[in-house]
Amino acid sequence: MNIKHYAVAGLFALGAVAPAASMAADAEAGKALSSVCAACHGQNGISQVPVYPNLAGQKEQYLVSALKAYKNGNRSGGQSALMIPQAKNLSDADIANVAAYYSSLPAGGK
């Protein structure tokens, strides 16, 4: 095998491990799961309480990373005492779906 074959194989390998959450995520399923989130983050992802962040329009991969960090206990401080138990109840598919839903909403809440 020459260097060209290794380069092509490397590109395929990178594609195989790239996150596929956004392709497989179901925003409608995420909306169904979001009712628990709405208590703090607002009905449409816009919080009415200054200490809770807005989720509407947030980048999907950021939301996935944040929820997984809470779920795995790698994120602490702030509201982690509230978020860790919520995230632990979510499967990876649930996390992807919730992230897809909130990222699909307009950041301004309109």
Q: Along the 110 residues of the chain, how does pLDDT read in single tens digits? A: 555 554 444 444 444 444 444 457 999 999 999 999 999 999 999 999 999 999 999 999 999 999 999 999 999 988 999 999 999 999 999 999 999 999 999 998 76
Phi-psi region of 57 (alpha: psi -120 to 50; beta: other; left: phi over 0): left
For residue 64, what are its two tokens? 């996935």
Start-to-end CA span in the chain (Å): 56
**And the tokens for 109?**
């809440």
Kindly report the CATH class assigned to 3-104.
mainly alpha
**Nearest residue to 40 via CA among 93, 90, 102:** 102
pLDDT at 8: 44
Whole-structure pTM value: 0.77
**What is the C-alpha to C-alpha distance for residues 108 and 54, in angstroms, rounded to an integer?**
9
Ranges of each domain in the chain = 3-104
